[in-house]
Structure 1
Amino acid sequence: MDLTTTTLQVSIFIAIVFVHGLGSNPDTTWGPKGSNWISDFLPHDIPAALHKEIRVYFYNYDSYWKRDAVRTRLWWLGRGLLDGICSHIRRTEEALVLGSPDQAFTHVTKHTRGVVFLGTPHRGSSFSTYGSLAAQVLQPLGSNPLLLQEVAYDTPRLQDLHEEFERARGEQLHVVNFFEQRKTRLFKLWFWQWEEFCVREQSAIYSRVENIGLAVDHYGLNKFKSKDNESYKSVVRKLLSLIEPIAAQKQSQLYLVPVNTPGTYTERQKLSTEVADRLRVRHDNAIVPYALAIYGLGGTGKTQLALKYVEDHKDKYSPILWIDAKDKESVLSSYERCAGELQLQISPRQAQSTSLVDSPTVQAVLRWLEVRKKTEDAWLVVIDNADDFSSGIKRVLPRGDHGSIIITSQDSHARKLVGGGCEAVRVDTMERPEAQLLLLLHLQLDPDLATADVKHECDKVAEQLGYLALAIDLAGAYISNDDTDSAQALRRYLQRYTRHKDSLLRSEDFRGLLESEKTVWTVWDTTLEKIEALEAPEDSSSDLPARLLLHFLAQFRGAVVQDELFRLASPRVLDSRDALYDEPVALPSWLSKALAVKMEEWDNYCYERTRDRLIRYSLLQRTGGEWPGVLMHGLVQWRAKKYDEEQPWEKWHLMTVLAACTQLSGETARPQFRRELVAHIPAMEKMYLDELEIEEQKRVFVWHTVSTVYFSEGRWKDAEQLEVQVMETRKTKLGADHPHTLTSMGNLASTYRNQGRWDDAEKLDVQVMETSKTKLGADHPDTLTSMGNLASTYRNQGRWDDAEKLDVQVMETRKTKLGADHPHTLTSMANLAFTWKAQGQSAEAIVLLRHTSDILMGPSQSQYAREMGERPRQPPGNAGNYEKS
């Protein structure tokens, strides 16, 4: 015995099982030799919409009675059919007869909706008498006459079997009897022929069922040579009349999803594949064997992704329930809808409850799912928008060995709702081709026919919107409403976005016309409310509010806000504030907590605690690498910056950045962070500083602090622009001969030297040196430094004699004032040695360098270095270049 399927291999839903007659050859029962109307014709006559609902099976068994016959009886053949159905046709097909006394097959009757008999002898056949006699004669060859004796006409056994069948048949079982209206030719000799009815009408039909006669003989009931055969058409029409109501009922009652995939839905193949793969991972110890949390930033398309999976796999589950979990009322309403569709009886008096877990409606649905048997359909429940765990959603998640759960949430902890194990898929922004396709769908353009110009403009729109699915969907709706050509409509949107970004992103013009009720302005409000609910009021003394931290981080210019920036800023932020304002701007308590210092180190507890909450809800993303930090989506940043705009956010931001710059310039441990830090420095334009109400004299601190970082990072032009402003301001406010003014002139000269602008550097160096001699004296340390810097400029100009004179003067004065072994003296000695070497006085240069080395390293170490052929280590400072101002 075997149970095989036709080529109509589709998802299991409705099974049609074809069973051949007693003694028939399975290979020739359903058509002339070499053909089979079930596989050749039937799939083409079943509507395409029903293909995924149907699977066709052949049940083949050994009932040959003439020779080498299997010793069996009808009861065992029937038992074999049930065994085949149960072992090969799983899920919906596995449930077929609920009236059978054998508990192993109690599910079979319940799910059998129709039986079509093609010339079946319910009362037996007179042909079996002739066959029985023949079988007895053929017994020496191994025939089985018992089979034929059991189907002899009007035997008590057949009558009992038919009565049992009628008693077991429920009202839902539709029975159709097709019977032959022509005799079958058994023998022909010349003009004489023998014809008989194989199954007479009175045996093939009975009352209270549908009986249909066909103008064919017995063989014509099941062997159809052509689709045009009227008997074939009659049988197919009847099959479809049984199938279509079942399919319609299944779809309408068990697919309880109140939302639909929009016409502009864009397939995200990588994510869809990952969702399907994750839902095949089984967790045996979980409340359901298959569970998945789809999480990510609001507006990325989590609900649509879950819905797409549901629609693609709706033939795999029954029922499919959809629970809106955005708040307690929505959860309860969803369960009430499901209970009604499942026709669960709930007393109105019982349905009143103040909590979800105590709701009789919720409990009725949960019980219905939990007691589903493995022999019944697998079920799927989608818990959508599960962002607020405080509603009690965890306690009303379905349980059961035969179920699956999908949870969509902005909370990355959503997988923890499912006890025992749950898979997770993160949904991020769209890929560029996906975003482009979404816009083309809104424009009703075929992607293969759209012009390169249109696609390019689509890409520009998507890039402006940060590839956020919600924003692109809303933009697509807006653009499609433009009556100009597509390329022009896209360009007009970009132009308006540049000029009226706030208005476009706040717009609710398409609310109610798209699947989402949210806009870019509102999509993250509820998320922040959920985070704030986590911030217990009794713990407010130690907490840093998430909303405030998010809005503060939104002020930073760089893509990533590194933890190192806060570490650097923490010890200097108060100094930075005091340097900017005579009347200090109040530092809010939440910012003091973010930049708290304990035991001379940054205390990052409050910052990290709040930061991690924002990461949990995907409003921030954690980045790793050498300088770990956080980043946020561009539209989240836009929205965050609109919060409480009256507060001095930019002042607090500048204080923090300047504090980090000041600290970094004084540290030597990790100077390589400068490259990351400069990305956060605002453009120091006059309008910007005016808006922050920074007085002109205070701006010197800003320019100097930032120019120092630019200088150290090698951004000479940026440093120059700020140093010029520092110098000019100090000249005006302090005078040209003030020490601070001279320092700023020296700094600017150093910047000129690094740009190779030797003449500009010389002019400033001469002014600084001469003024310092006059105001401070020729032997003042600052004067000597300026002389050393001018000598360095001369060297770079190739003016070796001028450089030598200054180098000698500096060296001799320092020897006298500081001593021969002072680091500054050694620096000047090394500078003179380099000048001599450049003049060709190598012997003198070597002697001086050895002398310097002996002082710095000690005679024995210096001698060892010379013997090993090594060059003596340079003394501190830029000995061969210039002296630091």
Structure 2
Amino acid sequence: MPYSGITQFVGREDDLERLHQQLQPGSPVAISAVSGMGGIGKTELALQYADQHLNLQTYPGGICWLRAREELGTQIVSFAQSCLDLSPPEDRELAAKVAYCWQHWQEGAVLVVLDDVQDYQDIQSFLPPPGPRFRVLLTTRLTLRSPVRNIEIKVLTETAVLELLRSLVKDGRIDQQINEAKQICKWLGYLPLALELVGRYLARKPDTSVATLWQRLQNKRLDAKALKDRETGMTASLGVTAAFELSWEGLSEAAQQLTGLLSLFALAEIPWELVEPCLPNWDAEELEELRDEKLVDWHLLQRTGKGLYQLHQLLREFFTAKRERMSVDGELKHAFCRVMTAVAKQLPYSPSKLQIKQFTPVIPHLKATVTTLHTRLTDADVIKQSTGIANFYEGQAAYKDAIHWSEHSLKIAKTRMGRNHPDTATSLNNLARLYYLQGRYAEAEPIYLESLLIREKQLGTDHLDVAASLNNLAEIYESRGRYAEAEPLYQKALKLRKAQLDEHHPDIAQSLNNLAHLYTMQERYADAEPLYQKALELRKTQLGERHPDTAQSLNNLAHLYTMQGRYLKAEPLYQKALEILAEELVENHPDVVSILNNMGRLYANQERYYEAKQSYQKALEILEEHFCNHPNQANILNNIGLLYASQGLFSEAEPLYQRALEILIQELGENHPYVAKALSNLGELYFCWGESQQNYYQTMNYRSQARNYYSQAHKTAKKSLGSTHPITKTINDTLRVIEEYLG
């Protein structure tokens, strides 16, 4: 048997046990194969098994180790002559001599190992005869079928490869720079051969840090010295690239081109439905055969699920290097970009839950296109792809990722088209929207303004994109409590849309909905209701009964009914809206939070306190997990505080009110209507708290605190809403009553 060069065998205990179960006496399996990609550790596993059972004397008839790449029949005869003292007749053919050796082998169970089998047919005629005596173990890069039983081995776990590195590098460097060590393991795809090579490299270079090695690997990739220099004494006979080269040489030109195409995809699962259109002139069945019989069966490509395939990290690096030297490199890149561009055009602006699931496998490959092949895309296509990725993440409320890709789109637009191009304005608008959805209104406003100015200058003041910008800017003004500034913008956007669009267009429904929402915030309920009703009707007709925008209209109308005390009409609308969003959107979507919060308010107004708290808490949990100090979080804290206060639980309500006030001042500024409302809530809390006291002086103390909060609320309301606004008047009336109590 060959010499095992490893110092510690790790991570293959389960594989050894599987091998033992297949080969033990009494097992119906006579031929087992350890299969896997080059460098995975097939030979080492077979060697460890053979060595272990040599010591255990499991095979009294002997263990015969044969190199399948060399002349197999000659090796068998030579082994029998030298180790078993057999003398096959000289006048027979080689196959007959081999048969003689098997027939006259010494007594007892025998293990025959054939290392590195390239073709089962090449070895089949030399295998021992069927029967209980002989157990055959093959190692191969192929996936063999009946009568062979395969044990396919995978890459090691991170824990196992770190243990392997520590066994080779004994001076503590691995744990001293554990993060860099983990990065190396991940980049090498947890491939045992690669990890052993870099471990030995570090061991013989005690002054080289793990971080330095990581940098060298990043710079030189597969050409790094650490991956090429095989040491004497290793079980493996080749470095990483040389090991892969053996498989490469066995591929046809067509199969090699296919690997070149696959290397353009990201290091992620590859939907096969993306591969086929990249090679439109290839026969689909022949393409499948290349995939299955060459790449998958040779462990150069892994099938990970129905219609999904993936390359190993280092094989992808290897195939990339090969592709870059192919004459068809440019053609493959062009085809790949063409398909990815077509896919990007299918990405919806606001993806549903089903669409998110559908497009999730595609996203990594779109990212690869816009980051590594963007020079091969048109200006419009590269922006379309970046924006599509951002929209995909926005649909999941994954705003950090969405902002990253929106910023990427903006950077490309500015660089390739200029700061004043309409596409730059669109990218600015998209970025501002993401800030708006996060409650970062102060950051969103100047970006929306910049987008609006570009659109007005480049497209004209009557363009529909200008209408969209006016609508978006109005949303910011409304959210910041600047209602007087928001209304004319909403009105102008609606006017532009009505003039240029069909009267049933969804954008008109959006304008009606937003204007109604503003009126609701101003307590102009009579003005709001017909607009909400019209928006709902349009959305049902144009978008469908189950569309998320239809759910938004149902929620808004139900909220209006709640504010008017029309609870019986509100509740079924909330329930229907929530049912739609549960089907269509992710559970942490802002629209889901809005419905839960509004339902909580409905239940609280009906004194259904348990249901109210449940609804509020669920909404709050979503916000706290996915957002940081969002103004809506303050709104929900206020509502929970109000819930406690209405039950006389003043001490539980106070910290919630205070926290809500802090968030609102921090995020919206001191002069916002929401701040006025939060201050008046605290004022009401202290007044009611005082009325519950038995001690006169305590009552007066609480009333004094209530006056202070109502006084601040009145000043804030006057600044943000004006002295004639109903909310301002209500706060002022309450303040006067408290002052009368105080004398």
Q: TM-score range by the shorter chain?
A: 0.5 to 0.7
Aligned with 1:440 (options 166, 173, 179): 166
In 2, Cα distance between equivalents of 1:394 and 1:651: 45
Identify if the C-alpha distance between structure 1 residues 838 and 776 changes in structure 2 by more than 3 Å, giving closer, same or farther.
same
Aligned with 2:264 (options 555, 568, 586): 555
Distance apart, 1:496 and its partner CA? 1.8
1:280 aligns with 2:24: yes
1:297 aligns with 2:3: no
The residue number in structure 1 matching 2:126 is 396
Aligned with 2:155 (options 429, 435, 441): 429
**Residues 71-111 of structure 1: per-residue CA shift (max 9 Å, x gap):** xxxxxxxxxxxxxxxxxxxxxxxxxxxxxxxxxxxxxxxxx
Q: TM-score, normalised by structure 2?
A: 0.58
5 Å-filtered alignment, 1:87-98, equals none
Identify if the C-alpha distance between structure 1 residues 365 and 346 changes in structure 2 by more than 3 Å, giving closer, same or farther.
same
In 2, Cα distance between equivalents of 1:761 and 1:616: 66
5 Å-filtered alignment, 1:111-122, equals none
Aligned with 1:617 (options 286, 294, 298): 298
1:789 aligns with 2:511: yes
Identify if the C-alpha distance between structure 1 residues 278 and 778 changes in structure 2 by more than 3 Å, giving closer, same or farther.
closer
The residue number in structure 1 matching 2:644 is none
Give % identity: 16
Answer whether contact 2:65 2:115 (CA < 8 A) is retained.
Answer: yes
1:469 aligns with 2:192: yes
In 2, Cα distance between equivalents of 1:764 and 1:345: 102
In 2, Cα distance between equivalents of 1:438 and 1:813: 64
* Secondary structure at 2:195 match in 1: helix
Distance apart, 1:396 and its partner CA? 1.8
The residue number in structure 2 matching 1:125 is none
- Unmatched 5+ stretches in structure 1: 1-256, 352-359, 534-544, 574-586, 595-603, 850-865
Partner amino acid for 1:560?
A: E
Distance apart, 1:492 and its partner CA? 2.6
Equivalenced residues, count? 527
Answer whether contact 1:317 1:378 (CA < 8 A) is retained.
Answer: yes
In 2, Cα distance between equivalents of 1:318 and 1:300: 30
Aligned with 2:215 (options 492, 495, 507): 495
The residue number in structure 2 matching 1:576 is none
Between structures 1 and 2, the one with greater helix share = 2
In 2, Cα distance between equivalents of 1:761 and 1:295: 69
The residue number in structure 2 matching 1:368 is 101
* Secondary structure at 2:395 match in 1: helix
In 2, Cα distance between equivalents of 1:778 and 1:719: 31
The residue number in structure 2 matching 1:478 is 201
In 1, Cα distance between equivalents of 2:153 and 2:162: 18
Identify if the C-alpha distance between structure 1 residues 837 and 474 changes in structure 2 by more than 3 Å, giving closer, same or farther.
same
Identify if the C-alpha distance between structure 1 residues 735 and 322 changes in structure 2 by more than 3 Å, giving closer, same or farther.
same
Distance apart, 1:644 and its partner CA? 1.4
Answer whether contact 1:511 1:518 (CA < 8 A) is retained.
Answer: no
The residue number in structure 2 matching 1:527 is 247
In 2, Cα distance between equivalents of 1:870 and 1:791: 16
Aligned with 1:671 (options 343, 348, 355): 355
Identify if the C-alpha distance between structure 1 residues 558 and 760 changes in structure 2 by more than 3 Å, giving closer, same or farther.
farther
Answer whether contact 2:269 2:361 (CA < 8 A) is retained.
Answer: no
Identify if the C-alpha distance between structure 1 residues 308 and 836 changes in structure 2 by more than 3 Å, giving closer, same or farther.
closer
Distance apart, 1:641 and its partner CA? 2.3
1:504 aligns with 2:224: yes
* Secondary structure at 1:300 match in 2: coil
Identify if the C-alpha distance between structure 1 residues 457 and 471 changes in structure 2 by more than 3 Å, giving closer, same or farther.
same
Distance apart, 1:406 and its partner CA? 1.0
Answer whether contact 2:65 2:114 (CA < 8 A) is retained.
Answer: yes
Q: TM-score, normalised by structure 1?
A: 0.49
Aligned with 2:385 (options 694, 697, 702): 702
In 1, Cα distance between equivalents of 2:161 and 2:120: 32
**Residues 667-702 of structure 1: per-residue CA shift (max 9 Å, x gap):** 98942415724641544998756422x232444433
Aligned with 2:141 (options 400, 410, 431): 410
- Unmatched 5+ stretches in structure 2: 414-421, 427-453, 582-589, 593-743
Answer whether contact 1:800 1:835 (CA < 8 A) is retained.
Answer: no
Answer whether contact 1:808 1:832 (CA < 8 A) is retained.
Answer: no
**Residues 314-346 of structure 1: per-residue CA shift (max 9 Å, x gap):** 3434443222113xx543553464355255557
In 2, Cα distance between equivalents of 1:821 and 1:424: 57
1:712 aligns with 2:395: yes
Answer whether contact 1:435 1:462 (CA < 8 A) is retained.
Answer: yes
5 Å-filtered alignment, 1:484-883, equals 484=207, 489-504=209-224, 507-510=227-230, 514-530=234-250, 532=252, 545-557=254-266, 559-562=268-271, 566=273, 588-589=279-280, 606-607=287-288, 610-611=291-292, 613-624=294-305, 629-645=308-324, 646-647=329-330, 649=332, 651-663=334-346, 665=348, 670-674=354-358, 676-677=360-361, 679-683=363-367, 688=372, 690-692=374-376, 694-716=377-399, 718-719=401-402, 721=406, 727-728=423-424, 735-737=459-461, 741-742=465-466, 745=469, 770=492, 773-774=495-496, 777=499, 780-781=502-503, 785-786=507-508, 788-789=510-511, 791-792=513-514, 795=517, 799-800=521-522, 805=527, 808=530, 833-834=557-558, 836-837=560-561, 839-840=563-564, 842=566, 846=569
In 2, Cα distance between equivalents of 1:760 and 1:362: 94
Answer whether contact 1:383 1:406 (CA < 8 A) is retained.
Answer: yes
Distance apart, 1:640 and its partner CA? 2.4
* Secondary structure at 2:138 match in 1: strand
* Secondary structure at 2:564 match in 1: coil
In 2, Cα distance between equivalents of 1:704 and 1:762: 33
In 2, Cα distance between equivalents of 1:842 and 1:521: 73
Identify if the C-alpha distance between structure 1 residues 687 and 784 changes in structure 2 by more than 3 Å, giving closer, same or farther.
closer
**Residues 124-182 of structure 1: per-residue CA shift (max 9 Å, x gap):** xxxxxxxxxxxxxxxxxxxxxxxxxxxxxxxxxxxxxxxxxxxxxxxxxxxxxxxxxxx
Answer whether contact 1:264 1:442 (CA < 8 A) is retained.
Answer: yes
In 2, Cα distance between equivalents of 1:746 and 1:333: 85
In 2, Cα distance between equivalents of 1:265 and 1:871: 63
Answer whether contact 2:166 2:174 (CA < 8 A) is retained.
Answer: no
**Residues 474-495 of structure 1: per-residue CA shift (max 9 Å, x gap):** 11221122142xxx54333223
**Residues 169-222 of structure 1: per-residue CA shift (max 9 Å, x gap):** xxxxxxxxxxxxxxxxxxxxxxxxxxxxxxxxxxxxxxxxxxxxxxxxxxxxxx
Identify if the C-alpha distance between structure 1 residues 797 and 312 changes in structure 2 by more than 3 Å, giving closer, same or farther.
farther
Distance apart, 1:280 and its partner CA? 0.6
**Residues 354-391 of structure 1: per-residue CA shift (max 9 Å, x gap):** xxxxxx23431332113447xx243322111013235x
Answer whether contact 2:201 2:226 (CA < 8 A) is retained.
Answer: no
Partner amino acid for 1:788?
A: Q
In 2, Cα distance between equivalents of 1:263 and 1:335: 27
In 2, Cα distance between equivalents of 1:462 and 1:683: 23
Distance apart, 1:399 and its partner CA? 1.7
Answer whether contact 2:517 2:528 (CA < 8 A) is retained.
Answer: no
The residue number in structure 2 matching 1:538 is none
The residue number in structure 1 matching 2:15 is 271
Partner amino acid for 2:302?
A: Q
Between structures 1 and 2, the one with greater strand share = 1
Distance apart, 1:292 and its partner CA? 2.0
In 1, Cα distance between equivalents of 2:554 and 2:179: 61
Answer whether contact 1:320 1:380 (CA < 8 A) is retained.
Answer: yes
Partner amino acid for 1:271?
A: D
The residue number in structure 1 matching 2:721 is none
In 1, Cα distance between equivalents of 2:353 and 2:574: 27
**Residues 789-837 of structure 1: per-residue CA shift (max 9 Å, x gap):** 364266279534578647646867999xx9x995689979968854742
Partner amino acid for 1:631?
A: Q
